[in-house]
Structure 1
Amino acid sequence: MTEQKKDYTMQQAALMLDVHRDTIMYWEEKGLIPPARRNQKNNYRVYNIDEVMKIAELRGIGAVDEEAVEREKIKRQLERKRKKQLAAYS
């Protein structure tokens, strides 16, 4: 059985590469990186970790922060929790 690699959104890939999502779009438009795969349901660009690492290699980015996506999720969860708490006290 083959292990399915997780797909990341363009925003998540940009977060891992520490660039703006528009930068990835620009690189793709100029042919500086291979075109992204597309989600068949919504046609959004998607990347797996190998593709993100390849982009980093092609663009001379020394490190890919694979944990950035998880940190961002935790940050957003904490923000939502704090907003709910503030709303409860209002």
Structure 2
Amino acid sequence: MSEQKKDYTMHQAALMLDVHRDTIMYWEEKGLIPSARRNPKNNYRVYNIDDVMKIAEMRGIGAVDEEAVGKQKYKKQRERERKRQLEA
């Protein structure tokens, strides 16, 4: 049985590549990277880790930070907690 790969949003892929999400859209529009798959529920672009790695290779990005998504979630969680503490 094959393991299903996690899908990432364009924003999450941009975090891993350390580029702005508009950069990914530009690359796609100009044909510099393959078109992204689309989520059938909302038509948003989705990427798995293999897609992100391929983009990095095609655009000459040396390192992909696979932990960037988790770091961003943790940072937002800390910000929410800090905000709640200030409001209390």
Same fold by TM-score greater than 0.5: yes
Aligned to 1:84: 84
Question: CA separation in 2, counterparts of 1:44 and 1:24?
Answer: 13
Q: Matched residues, percent identical?
A: 83
Q: Show the 5 A alignment for 1:28-47.
A: 28-47=28-47
The amino acid that maps onto 1:5 is: K
CA RMSD of aligned residues (A): 0.5
Runs of 5+ consecutive residues of structure 1 not aligned to the other structure: none
* Rg comparison, structure with higher value: 1
Question: CA separation in 1, counterparts of 2:87 and 2:4?
Answer: 40
Runs of 5+ consecutive residues of structure 2 not aligned to the other structure: none
How many residues of Structure 1 are paired with residues of Structure 2 in the alignment? 88
Say yes or no: does 1:21 pair with 2:21. Answer: yes
After the TM superposition, list the runs of 4 or more consecutive aligned residues in structure 1 that deviate by more than 2 angstroms. none
Question: CA separation in 2, counterparts of 1:86 and 1:3?
Answer: 43
Residue 2 of structure 1 and its aligned partner are, at CA, apart by: 1.6
The amino acid that maps onto 2:56 is: A
